[in-house]
Amino acid sequence: MSLKNGAKDKLDRYTSRTSGYAFNTYDHQGDVDLPLTPADVLMANLLSLRLSGRDVIPLFAEGDGPAQRLRVALDDALVALRDVAPFESHGALTILEESVEKLTAADAATKSVKQWTEVTVSKVLHRRRPHIVPV
Confidence of residue 134 (pLDDT cuts 50, 70, 90): confident
1 domain residue, yes or no: no
Q: How many structural domains are present in the chain?
A: 1
Query: What does the mean pLDDT of the chain come to?
Result: 87
pLDDT of 5 higher than 90 = no
6 domain residue, yes or no: no
Confidence of residue 3 (pLDDT cuts 50, 70, 90): low
8 domain residue, yes or no: no
In which domain, by residue range, is 37 found? 24-126
Cβ atoms of residues 84 and 99 within 8 Å: yes
In angstroms, rounded to a whole number, what is the distance separating the alpha carbons of residues 14 and 54?
33
Q: Residue 4 CB: number of other CB atoms within 10 A?
A: 6
Confidence of residue 2 (pLDDT cuts 50, 70, 90): low
* pLDDT tens, position by position, 54-113: 999 999 999 999 999 999 999 999 999 999 999 888 888 888 899 999 999 999 999 999
Find the mean pLDDT for residues 4-9. Answer: 78
